[in-house]
Chain A
Amino acid sequence: MKECQIKKEIIGALESHARQIRKDVVTMIHQSGDGHPSPALSIADIIAALYFHVLNIDPQNPEKPDRDRVVLSKGHACTALYSALARRGFFPLSELPKFRSLHSILQGHPYQRKTPGLDATTGSLGHGVSLGLGMVLAGRVQGYSYFTYVIIGDGEQEEGLIWEAAMAAVKYRAGRLIVLADCNGLQSGGKIEEVGGIVPIQPKWEAFGWHCQTIDGHNMEAILSALLQAQQVEETPSIILARTIKGKGVPFMENNNEWHKKVPTKEELELALSALGG
């Protein structure tokens, strides 16, 4: 009973962090005048779970060699990641409005040499699983047991390199590699079912030999429980297929692909913030 209460408190806190991330996402994109709001809103719960509960990281020592790693393979959703890094104390919140501006530490897509706490350069889709595998293997060579979490999109899995990495990760028994797929059903050009032929997704990962789970990617308890289960799988890489809603939390952005890349006006920002609880 006590454990259950603690868990409820943790979940409540993480949901509150996810709301804050969503507010930061729409605010940053409004302030900077550029960015991808709806793909960032769909991963806010996953980012909150990782950065405010799961990861072994230290904002005072962002480069510590045994830290857990995160690779945001769908790098265009970086506003959610930047919000979490700032709110975890890797850099001041005052950096957030400078997103995508000249000389900002927050590049248009993640760049590891400029942003404290950021582990991987991404933005060109399809690369995260390979980067994550390299990080896992480097940990193994150096005797560290950290986990590497890779966040990919669903449309992104149309890239062949994802499957090259899927093969190699099984060959190298990369149990410390955990992929979270943000399955929001939409990609830049339209519906996942219609654009590239990647559906059905889960049987493909199963056929490659991965440990697979499918969850509601906006249910914090489900996210935590799936991550815990993935951590227990020792000799096999894991993927968590998280069913999400693109634009989640802002009603007029939800499942409306116009918001893949679009800047909210002042009025739209106010509406969005109000929907997110003010």
Chain B
Amino acid sequence: MNTLQSTRVAAIEAIDSLMEKDPRIAMVFADSVKVFRAAELVKKYPDRCFDVGIAEQNAVTVAAGMASSGLKPIVATYAGFLTMRACEQIRTFVAYPRLPVIFLGANGGIAGGEREGVTHQFIEDLGIARTLPSMSVVSPADAYETHQAVLNAAKQDGPVYIRIGSGRDPVFFEQPYSFEWGKAHIVLEQNPEDVVIFATGGFLLHRCWQAIERLNTEGFRVSLLNIHTLKPLDADTVGKFLKRAGAAVTVEDHTVIGGLGSAIAEAASEQFPVPLIRLGLQDTFAESGEAEALLDAYGMGVPDICDAVKKVLQRKG
């Protein structure tokens, strides 16, 4: 059993430290204070925390107005209600004028869905956010990386979408590492490797790590890259590993259309085309269930990762 630490709490702690230093940072909630465990933050900064109720389009557009008038707002609510219900507001009123608004989307992925089922499991958010010009897209792997992502997002000039989880998120980084915005994080480099795995988001680095341990005992050499920043993608590092490995697997708790798998496929086809297998939701919705069980049931289990590595290796030629 992995240690759990809430990505939601980590995000709010980072925001607290930002608000302490920068009077321009404001929060906009859509009846999501409780979701984000942010009651203490609201109490501490009552004049800079706003809750517009269950009205995500309004939350985003109010934030756009704030950012047009000197503030740096952060909108925090569920990932899908942001990127789908308020998609146009994010696109036209924040991304188009390149305003410095940070979006925090909770319940990213089927593992982040709190057993609520499809309505609250968001598997399209990264793809939607990635298509918007000027939008940066970050998908942190755990609480530590979420904290780093929020601190770094506040340094950007334009809008940022950060996907976070359910609040019951396994810790992967027990020790801090040097998080670099827009850079792929090399978790494991086995030079030269047979296959490179690219992963993003919560729960999955553990699974990839276990798969690689298994594969190593069978004689396969596999490198693991954590792509926390999907956009801008670190095309140099991705290209370097694709070229050297000659085969790749992507693992994401997201539909394989539009997210990490697509981003890597795009980078590969432009730089160094290699055989690629994309693990994630295969153009399907999921269902209610416990996080780890859902990932196993929908093709993101340790055996699925091992199989994908072996299959893609066969296609390497």
Q: Do A and B come from one complex?
A: yes
Interface positions of A (Cβ within 8 A of B): 65, 69, 71, 111-113, 119-121, 123-124, 127, 130-142, 160-161, 164-165, 167-168, 171-172
How far does the alpha carbon of A8 sit from the alpha carbon of B29 in the complex, in Å? Answer: 48
Query: Given known contacts A65-B69, A142-B23, what 5 new A-B pairs fall within 8 Å (CB)?
Result: A124-B88, A124-B92, A134-B69, A164-B55, A167-B52
Which 6 A-B residue pairings sit nearest by Cβ, starting from the closest? A134-B65, A130-B61, A138-B69, A164-B58, A164-B55, A131-B65
State A160–B86 Cα separation when bound (angstroms): 12
> Beyond A121-B96, A167-B53, is A130–B66 a contact (Cβ under 8 Å)?
no
Report whether B70 and A161 are in contact in the complex, using a CB–CB cutoff of 8 Å. no
Report whether A135 and B98 are in contact in the complex, using a CB–CB cutoff of 8 Å: no
Contact B50 A130, beta carbon cutoff 8 Å? no
Q: Which of B55, B57, B62 is packed against the most chain A CB atoms within 10 Å?
A: B62
Q: Is B5 an interface residue (CB 8 A)?
A: no
B52 / chain A contacts, CB cutoff of 8 Å: 164, 167-168, 171
Residue B288, interface by CB 8 Å = no
- Give A65 Cβ to nearest chain B Cβ, in Å: 6
The 18 sampled A-B contact pairs (Cβ below 8 Å) are A65-B70, A119-B68, A127-B92, A130-B57, A130-B64, A134-B63, A135-B65, A135-B69, A137-B26, A138-B65, A138-B71, A141-B71, A165-B58, A167-B52, A168-B53, A168-B58, A168-B62, A172-B50
Find chain B residues with CB under 8 A from A164 CB. 52-53, 55, 57-58
CB of A239, distance to nearest CB on chain B (Å): 17
Q: Closest approach, in angstroms, between the C-beta of A138 and any C-beta of chain B?
A: 4
Question: Smallest CB–CB gap between A85 and chain B, Å?
Answer: 16
**Residues 32-83 (chain B) with a chain A CB within 8 angstroms:** 47-48, 50, 52-53, 55, 57-58, 61-71, 73
CB distance A112 to B58 under 8 Å? no
Shortest C-beta distance, B94 to chain A (Å), equals: 9
Q: Is B93 an interface residue (CB 8 A)?
A: yes
A165 CA to B30 CA, complexed, in Å: 12
A254 to chain B, nearest CB (A): 32
Using Cβ atoms and an 8 Å threshold, which residues of chain A touch B64?
Answer: 130-131, 134
Contact B58 A141 (CB under 8 A): no
Report B157 CB to chain A, min CB distance, Å.
12
Interface size on B, residues (CB 8 A): 29
| Contact residues in B for A65 (Cβ distance below 8 Å) | 69-70
Instruction: Give Cα A123 to B50, complex, Å.
Output: 26
In the complex, residue of chain A having the shortest beta-carbon distance to the beta carbon of B50: A137
Give Cα A113 to B67, complex, Å: 13
Interchain CB contact under 8 A, A120 and B53: no
- The reply to whether the CB of B192 lies closer than 8 angstroms to some CB of chain A is no
The winner among B26, B69, B88, B98 for most chain A CB atoms within 10 A is: B69
Are B66 and A134 in contact, with the CB atoms below 8 A? yes
Q: Is the CB of A111 within 8 A of B26?
A: no
A127 near B89: Cβ-Cβ < 8 Å:
yes
Q: Report how far A256 CA is from B167 CA in the complex, Å.
A: 57
Closest to A162 in B: B58
B117 located at the interface, meaning its Cβ lies under 8 Å from any Cβ of chain A in the complex: no
8 Å CB contact of B97 from A112, A132, A140 = A112
B57 to A135, Cβ gap below 8 A? no
Select from chain A the residue with minimum beta-carbon distance to B55: A164
Instruction: Determine whether the beta carbon of B97 is less than 8 Å from that of A134.
Output: no
Report A-chain residues with C-beta under 8 Å of the C-beta of B23.
141-142
Do A161 and B69 form a contact, CB below 8 Å, given A111-B96, A113-B98, A121-B92?
no
Nearest Cβ on chain A to B252's Cβ, whole angstroms: 31
Chain B residues contacting A138 (CB-CB under 8 Å) are: 26, 65-71
Indicate which residue in A127, A141, A172 contacts B93 across the interface (CB closer than 8 Å): A127
Question: Nearest Cβ in chain B — how far from A208, in angstroms?
Answer: 13
Task: State the CA gap A168–B182 with chains docked (Å).
Answer: 36
Knowing A164-B58, A167-B55, A172-B50 are in contact, say whether A132-B93 is a contact too (CB < 8 A): no
Q: What's the Cα separation between A139 and B93 when bound, in Å?
A: 19
Chain B positions within 8 Å of A69 at CB level: 69
In angstroms, Cα B73 to Cα A247, docked, is: 39
What's the nearest-Cβ distance from chain A to residue B317, in Å?
A: 48
Most chain A beta carbons < 10 A, residue from B48, B92, B93: B93
Residue of B whose beta carbon sits closest to that of A161: B57
Residues of A within 8 A of B47 (CB): 140-141
Give CA–CA (A121, B101) in the complex, Å: 15
**Minimum Cβ distance to chain A for residue B68 (Å):** 6
- The complex places the Cα of A133 from the Cα of B58 at a distance, in Å, of 10
Chain B nearest CB, measured from A159 CB (Å): 9
How far, in Å, is A72 (CB) from chain B's closest CB? 13
Contacts of B63 in A (CB 8 A): 134
Q: B61 near A127 (CB under 8 angstroms)?
A: yes
B residues in contact with A142, CB < 8 Å: 23, 69-71
The docked-state distance in angstroms from the alpha carbon of A164 to that of B31 is 13
A139 pairs with B65, CB closer than 8 A: no
Contact indicator B66/A135 (Cβ below 8 Å): yes
B residues less than 8 Å from A130 (CB atoms): 57-58, 61-62, 64-65
Partner of A131, one of B48, B53, B61, B70: B61
Q: Which residues of A lie under 8 Å from residue B98 when comparing CB positions?
A: 113
Q: Report the separation of the CA atoms of residues A160 and B98 in the bound assembly, to the nearest whole angstrom.
A: 25
Q: Mark B282-301, 1 if CB is under 8 A from A, else 0.
A: 00000000000000000000
